């Protein structure tokens, strides 16, 4: 719900040079934190970056200490750390001191519940202040933070909580029922802590967040961690199997800090908004650890996407740095230029995008309406930090992901790990050694090793090429992973959900190109005997997957088929389904089952 009275329009609308919408004007910018690329790229060593990080005695480290506690003694104690705007546009501000008190109380309370270093504590919350405090409180104790996207359904929750053997989940009243549905299947889950719980309705194992922290002390020292001990784990999708738990460590803070400084270009006076949910890696790293380690003021917006709400928020809080995603930008573009010009967005000085390819057209539109280029950058859950970026000190090439950051060696290689020639398509690979690289796949060494199957390289699963100026250009995934609206979805997850419905015998799932979402999920389905194809059945299957997995993971298109193409070993050939869908040549089909 929007509070109309808070809108400031008309008198403070955008200046004529932008309102006219014709000129391409670059606003005069501040000098970037990284002012020269080539020279720094040649000489930079990650050892240097350690100077910007505060270590605890004995070379120990805690990422939460760097993100929060050190700000209390370096002059930022009373600075606003968090501008939290709820779904009704109500604003609450938290200083670094207030945030520290909140995290310390929760940290002490968690400790009293028996949380020890290494235990997994998951956060399943909307973008409310408690989410941010909980993430840091868990990290302070040396426990492993497990972010969970608030739109996940029961099946998605069960898979993650079961695999990680989570001990505690922190949730709220609005989301708790989804955990209730699978609680019986989670033998390791000892407590569910509920923000805003009705005290009368608490069941065994459920605890009111407010009651829990009420009596707790606000003094808590961060646990001194070995830099290689786990900080957070995030589940991400691959081509096969259930989502895998990508494990990151406290040492990540070095990369989180430096990239927030160089790529986000955060400065003392910035008011910074990352639109990604902290249930995903962008939100965890670039709404919490990275920006706070740099002492920036962070905006958390609980409301849903709507063009007028977003612009209004930028205007209202005078947001200066804005990190968002191509899908959102495409939707904003669709909402029209006049929608931009109705607001005063002059505070903006730096705009960034991540998650999927950013169309050159959108970059050009950004120049027109915001007077600023949109800086695309590339990274993954596994890489833990931005690796390739259109840095503020470099010219933006619309359509390119940019150049590797200092300290990052990226290359386009063939299957043997040999670099291909400039301009040639190949696999995007990175030399291991950057601080935020994944350290493990939770209890799955085999999956972890798959990332390093090309000797000497971390393989990203993306195909790309490099131009003569050293800019990288994304081409597509090398595997079947679907990227829908910036969300990575594994076809297997969706297929597994679909076949749980009594009407479905088999399912094959692909990503289908879509102008707004990048890709949409399309499912091909064989029905069980006794079921016939109908629109209502298709809708039922869509609802079914939505409920089980998440809103973004349901197939927007379902086609009923008599057969699906399979290999002789019985694997569904998604490559062929995709070729059919796109009217492309089907290539070698010699291994097909019914050849
Ligand atoms: P995730 O781990 O969910 O963040 O997804 C990472 C994947 O998203 C990458 O492997 C790419 O396929 C895609 N991706 C992320 N950023 C970009 C970008 N700037 N351009 C193109 N694809 C991107």
Domains of the chain: 482-582 (3.30.300.30)
Reported confidence tier of residue 588, pLDDT bands at 50, 70, 90: low
Q: Whose CA is closest to atom 7 on ligand 1?
A: 380
Closest approach atom of ligand 1 to CA 486: 8
* SS3 assignment, position 57: helix
Among 239, 378, 484, residue to substitute to test ligand 1 (most atoms within 8 Å of Cβ): 378
For the chain, the first-to-last Cα distance in angstroms comes to 58
391-414 pLDDT, tens digit each: 999 999 999 999 999 999 999 999
Q: What is the pLDDT of residue 30?
A: 85
C-beta 208 within 6 A of ligand 1: no
Q: HEC string of 475-524? A: EEECCCCEEECCEEECHHHHHHHHHCCCCEEEEEEEEEEECCCEEEEEEE
CB 340 within 8 A of CB 370: yes
Is the pLDDT confidence value at 568 over 90?
Answer: no
Measured in Å, residue 386 CA sits from the centre of ligand 1 at: 10
C-beta 477 within 6 A of ligand 1: yes
Q: What is the pLDDT of residue 18?
A: 46
C-beta 376 within 6 A of ligand 1: yes
483-511 pLDDT, tens digit each: 999 999 999 999 989 999 999 999 999 99
Helical H segments across 113-153, by residue range: 129-141
Q: What is the pLDDT of residue 524?
A: 97
C-beta 486 within 6 A of ligand 1: no
Which residues lie below 8 Å from residue 404, measured CB to CB, with a gap of 6+? 41, 387, 388, 410, 470, 472
C-beta 383 within 6 A of ligand 1: no
Reported confidence tier of residue 70, pLDDT bands at 50, 70, 90: very high
Q: CA-CA distance, 460 to 179, in Å (whole number)? A: 33
Q: Whose CA is closest to atom 20 on ligand 1?
A: 357
Measured in Å, residue 378 CA sits from the centre of ligand 1 at: 6
Among 428, 474, 479, 517, residue to substitute to test ligand 1 (most atoms within 8 Å of Cβ): 474
| Mean pLDDT of all residues belonging to the chain | 93
Q: Whose CA is closest to atom 5 on ligand 1?
A: 380
Is the pLDDT confidence value at 22 over 60?
Answer: no
Among 391, 483, 489, 517, residue to substitute to test ligand 1 (most atoms within 8 Å of Cβ): 483
105-151 pLDDT, tens digit each: 999 999 999 999 999 999 999 999 999 999 999 999 999 999 999 99
Measured in Å, residue 505 CA sits from the centre of ligand 1 at: 32
Segment 268-277 shows an average pLDDT of: 98
Q: What is the pLDDT of residue 9?
A: 29
Tokens representing 204 are 């065994």
Quick one: what percent of the chain has pLDDT higher than 70? 94
250-271 pLDDT, tens digit each: 999 999 999 999 999 999 999 9
Measured in Å, residue 512 CA sits from the centre of ligand 1 at: 16
Is the pLDDT confidence value at 595 over 60?
Answer: no
C-beta 354 within 6 A of ligand 1: yes
217-255 pLDDT, tens digit each: 999 999 999 999 999 999 999 888 889 999 999 999 999
Q: What is the pLDDT of residue 27?
A: 53
For 62, 424, 495, 524, 594, the CA distances from 505, given in Å and listed in that order, are 49, 42, 10, 11, 18
Reported confidence tier of residue 593, pLDDT bands at 50, 70, 90: low
322-332 pLDDT, tens digit each: 999 999 999 99
Q: What is the pLDDT of residue 586?
A: 73
Q: What is the pLDDT of residue 241?
A: 84
Q: What is the pLDDT of residue 591?
A: 53
For 102, 127, 279, the CA distances from 196, given in Å and listed in that order, are 15, 14, 20
Q: Whose CA is closest to atom 22 on ligand 1?
A: 356
C-beta 327 within 6 A of ligand 1: no
C-beta 380 within 6 A of ligand 1: yes
Closest approach atom of ligand 1 to CA 481: 12
Q: Whose CA is closest to atom 23 on ligand 1?
A: 356
Is the pLDDT confidence value at 12 over 70?
Answer: no
């Amino acid at each position: 719900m929007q509070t109309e009275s808070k809108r400031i329009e008309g008198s403070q609308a955008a200046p004529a040079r932008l309102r006219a919408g014709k000129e391409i004007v670059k606003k005069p910018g501040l000098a970037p934190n990284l002012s020269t690329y080539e020279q720094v790229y040649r000489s930079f060593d990650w050892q240097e970056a350690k100077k910007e990080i505060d270590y605890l005695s004995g070379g120990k480290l805690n990422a939460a200490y760097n993100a929060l506690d050190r700000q209390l003694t370096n002059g930022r104690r009373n600075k606003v750390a968090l501008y939290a705007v709820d779904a009704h546009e109500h604003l609450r501000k938290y200083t670094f001191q207030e945030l520290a008190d909140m995290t310390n109380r929760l940290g002490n309370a968690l400790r009293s519940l028996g949380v020890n270093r290494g235990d997994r504590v998951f956060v399943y919350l909307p973008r409310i202040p408690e989410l941010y405090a909980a993430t840091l409180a868990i990290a302070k104790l040396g426990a492993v933070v497990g972010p969970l996207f608030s739109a996940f359904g029961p099946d998605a929750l069960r898979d993650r909580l079961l695999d990680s053997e989570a001990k505690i989940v922190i949730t709220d009243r609005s989301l708790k029922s989804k955990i209730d549905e699978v609680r019986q299947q989670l033998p390791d889950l000892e407590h569910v802590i509920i923000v805003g719980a009705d005290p009368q309705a608490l069941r065994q194992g459920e605890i009111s967040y407010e009651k829990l922290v009420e009596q707790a002390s606000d003094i808590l020292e961060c646990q001194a961690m070995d830099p290689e001990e786990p900080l957070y784990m995030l589940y991400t999708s691959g081509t096969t199997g259930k989502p895998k738990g990508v494990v990151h460590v406290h040492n990540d803070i070095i990369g989180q800090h430096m990239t927030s400084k160089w790529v986000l270009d955060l400065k003392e006076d910035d008011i910074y908004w990352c639109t990604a949910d902290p249930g995903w890696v962008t939100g965890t790293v670039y709404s919490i650890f990275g920006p706070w380690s740099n002492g920036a003021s962070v905006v958390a917006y609980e409301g849903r996407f709507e063009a007028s709400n977003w612009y209004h928020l930028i205007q209202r809080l005078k947001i200066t740095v804005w990190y968002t995603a191509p899908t959102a930008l495409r939707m904003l573009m669709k909402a029209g230029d006049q929608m931009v010009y109705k607001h005063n967005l002059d505070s903006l000085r730096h705009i960034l995008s991540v998650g999927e390819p950013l169309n050159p057209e959108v970059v050009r539109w950004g120049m027109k309406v915001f007077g600023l280029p949109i800086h695309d950058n590339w990274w993954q859950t596994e890489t833990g930090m931005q690796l390739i970026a259109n840095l503020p000190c470099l010219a933006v090439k619309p359509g390119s992901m940019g150049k590797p950051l200092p300290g990052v060696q990226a290359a386009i290689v063939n299957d043997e790990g040999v670099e291909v020639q400039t301009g040639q398509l190949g696999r995007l690979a990175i030399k291991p050694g950057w601080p935020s690289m994944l350290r493990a796949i939770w209890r799955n060494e085999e999956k972890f090793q798959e990332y390093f199957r090309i000797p000497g390289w971390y393989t990203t699963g993306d195909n790309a090429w490099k131009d003569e100026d050293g800019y990288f250009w994304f081409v597509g995934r090398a595997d079947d992973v679907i990227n829908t609206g910036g969300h990575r979805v594994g076809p297997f997850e969706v297929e597994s959900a679909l076949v749980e419905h009594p009407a479905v015998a088999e399912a094959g799932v692909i990503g289908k190109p879509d102008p707004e979402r990048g890709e949409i999920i399309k499912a091909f389905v064989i029905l069980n005997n006794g079921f016939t194809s109908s629109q209502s059945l298709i809708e039922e299957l869509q609802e079914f997957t939505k409920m089980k997995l998440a809103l973004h993971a349901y197939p927007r298109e379902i086609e009923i088929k008599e057969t699906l193409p399979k290999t002789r070993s019985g694997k569904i050939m998604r490559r062929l389904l995709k070729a059919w869908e796109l009217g492309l040549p089907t290539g070698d089909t010699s291994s097909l089952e019914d050849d």
